[in-house]
Amino acid sequence: MTKFSLSDLQDEQLNQDDPKVRQCLRCQGAFESQWAGERICARCKSSSAWRSGLPVRASSSGGRR
């Protein structure tokens, strides 16, 4: 069993909130998220479809037919 100190756990939590390049769940484009839970890029968040709460349409590429 591996033992972790409180400082190890705190360091890991801090690293999770570091800016990181992620893939947008809406457009699949790469963007730099500012915190661990940010998964939608600013471009998608600024779209009228996002602001109105419209669902994402399935893309024609990569899915089952």
Establish if 21 belongs to a structural domain: yes
Establish if 27 belongs to a structural domain: yes
Establish if 34 belongs to a structural domain: yes
At 33 the pLDDT is 95
Confidence band for 7, pLDDT divided at 50, 70 and 90: confident
Confidence band for 2, pLDDT divided at 50, 70 and 90: low
Cα gap 55→51, rounded to integer Å: 11
Identify the three-state secondary structure at position 20: strand
34-44 pLDDT tens trace: 998 999 999 99
Q: What percent of the chain is predicted at pLDDT more than 90?
A: 42
Establish if 6 belongs to a structural domain: no
Establish if 38 belongs to a structural domain: yes
Q: Considering all CA atoms of the chain, what is the largest pairwise distance in Å, rounded to the nearest integer?
A: 50
Domain coverage including residue 35: 17-46
At 55 the pLDDT is 83
Establish if 53 belongs to a structural domain: no
pLDDT at position 1 over 50:
yes
Total domains present in the chain: 1
